[in-house]
Amino acid sequence: MWLQVAVCLSCLLLGAQGQATFLRANDRSGRCQYSFTVASPAEDSCPTAGGGPEMEALRSRLTVLESLVSRLVSGDAGAAGAARAAPDAGLPEAYTRVMGEKSQLQQDKERLGRQVQVLQRRAEEQRLEVERLLAKPCQPPSAAQKDQRPASGSNILSHLVSQNRGQSEAGGATDPAWQLGNPRYQEVKAEVTEVPAPKQIQEGSQDSTGCGELVWVGEPVSHRKAESITGKYGVWMQDPEAVGPYGPQMLWRINTVGAEVRELYGYEDMDQLSRGFPTKVLLLPEPVESTGAAMYRGSLYYQRRRSRTLLRYDLATESIAARRDLPHAGFHGQFPYSWGGYTDIDLAVDEQGLWAIYSTNKAKGAIVVSQLDPGGLEVRRSWETNIRKNTVANAFMICGRLYTVASYASPNTTVNYAFDTATGESRSIAVPMRNSYRYNSMVDYNPVQRKLFSWDNFHMVSYAVRLGKPEAN
Ligand code: CA
């Protein structure tokens, strides 16, 4: 009874304050049911009927919004107009920029995806290659093999390469990783011609351009050893006149063992080449033949496989920018260097531009050297020498002169001929040069570094050189 009275009094009291809602309704059983709602103590203690600081802030923001809407609708000029114009003008630009960045990121993602695929494919090929080689029965190397390749067998990879080559020589190539087929692909033992004693050379007397005749080749310095048998032979390069997007320190490398050579690896600098993975992997649209490629003015120049076609691959667009047949040039084992390897066409760069070193039927195997137009690959001028191409191990150009290396395998060989395109004359020289690893498959000159780059039995090697002037007789 007292509880009911207390409830009724509370209802009356709250109702009198106007802060409670009183409701009456019938429940399911038809009985009358009373209920009421009371504001919480916090709300009830608000100092004003308007709702307190939160409501005041809300009102203030609403007022600002109403003011802005009003000014926008009325097209108010002045500060509000300027404030409106700025975002309107900036929005499309920001949108374009964001979409551009998105597109660039998408392209980067796709490019990285392609690079990953290339590396994965290469890793899988090499794994299968090693498995195949390991599955073959071991055969002791013949005496002839020992004589020809004294450095082979010094490590696992060399051992595998020697075994594979021995089997190929005995019964023809059956390993698809090698695809040798034509025995001319295998190294042909050099028939090195003994050369007469050289003229006395006067060192250090270069001309005003820094050019001169080669008078000294330094000791080989190895910068990197290839990781797999695909790097037994190869070519590595640095662009002496690099243009974007790569810097002048960028180094490039192609492993040239294999039936379908298309990977071009890029390294930021010599240090990266020596210790790291490539920072760039490009898949060339058409396969490479041999070790005669050259890098010049932002393009890779190379001979297309099984053809006399020269290609200019532009690094910026990652596409073939020019192609042209080198007229009458032998290819695919017709006029190789003494070590073989389909080294019919050898491209070179020096202070005077881009050159091709090759031979033709008309020249009957003698070295022909042509200066090429770097843009369209046309032959500007050609010289026929009296140097038999298959009697020398390699060749390179310095200051418009052609030089040849006597042996690819002898640890102590010489640069044995010089042909001067300025005079059309060749002569024998004997500048000592070392083949540290006894299987030198590529030698080229870099006019900026003033060094020879070579690829000697898995090793990427450089040699310092000195230029001078031969002493007059
Ligand atoms: Ca060369």
Ligand 1 midpoint to CA 253 (Å): 14
- Of 11-25, 232-246, 390-404, 450-464, give the lowest mean pLDDT range: 11-25
d(CA 408, ligand 1 centre) in Å: 12
Q: Where are the domains of the chain?
A: 204-468
**89-111 per-position pLDDT tens digit:** 677 787 888 888 888 888 878 87
Ligand 1 centroid from CA 445, angstroms: 8
Length of the chain: 473
pTM of structure: 0.59
Distance from the alpha carbon of residue 380 to the mean position of ligand 1, in angstroms: 20
Q: What is the pLDDT of residue 186?
A: 34
pLDDT grade, residue 339 (50/70/90)? confident
Question: Is residue 291 a contact partner of residue 455, using CB atoms and an 8 Å limit?
Answer: yes
The pLDDT value recorded for residue 136 is 54
- Residues with Cβ < 8 Å from 333, sequence gap 6 or more? 182, 184, 185, 340, 342, 344
- Find the 346 Cα to ligand 1 centroid distance in Å: 5
Compute the distance between CA of residue 39 and CA of residue 445 in angstroms, rounded to an integer.
93
What value does the mean pLDDT take over residues 424-453? 95
- How far does the centroid of ligand 1 lie from the alpha carbon of residue 58, in Å? 81
Confidence (pLDDT) at 372: 98
Question: Distance from the CA of 394 to the center of ligand 1, in angstroms?
Answer: 5
Structure tokens at 399: 């200051």
Pick the CATH number of 204-468 from 1.10.12.10, 2.40.128.630, 2.60.40.420, 3.90.1150.10: 2.40.128.630
Closest-CA residue to 463 (of 195, 177, 222, 167): 222
Q: How confident is the model at residue 127 (pLDDT cuts 50, 70, 90)?
A: low
Q: How far is the CA of 150 from the centre of ligand 1 (A)?
A: 24
Per-residue pLDDT for 444 more than 60? yes
**Mean pLDDT throughout 356-385?**
97
Residue 241 alpha carbon to ligand 1 centre in Å: 18
CA torsion angle for 13, 15, 18, 21 (degrees, to 10)? 140
Query: What CA–CA distance (Å, rounded) separates 333 from 246?
Result: 34
Residue 159 CA, ligand 1 centroid: distance in Å: 27
| Cβ atoms of residues 412 and 220 within 8 Å | no
- The least confident of 93-107, 151-165, 212-226, 285-299 is 151-165
Looking at residue 30, its pLDDT comes to 64
pLDDT band at 365 (very low <50, low <70, confident <90, very high): very high
Alpha carbons 345 and 367: distance in angstroms, whole number: 10
Question: How close is the Cα of 428 to the center of ligand 1, in Å?
Answer: 18
The Cα–Cα gap between 295 and 316 comes to 13
pLDDT of 224 higher than 70: yes
Pairing state between β 261-267 and 280-288? antiparallel
pLDDT band at 57 (very low <50, low <70, confident <90, very high): low
Mean pLDDT over residues 415-432, rounded? 96
Q: How far is the CA of 162 from the centre of ligand 1 (A)?
A: 24
Between the two ends of the chain, the Cα-to-Cα distance in Å is 142
Give the pLDDT band of residue 77 (cuts 50, 70, 90): very low
- Ligand 1 center–CA 368 separation, angstroms: 13
Assess contact for 377 and 322: CB atoms under 8 A: yes
Average per-residue pLDDT in the chain?
76
Q: Which residue has the tokens 């509000």?
A: 80
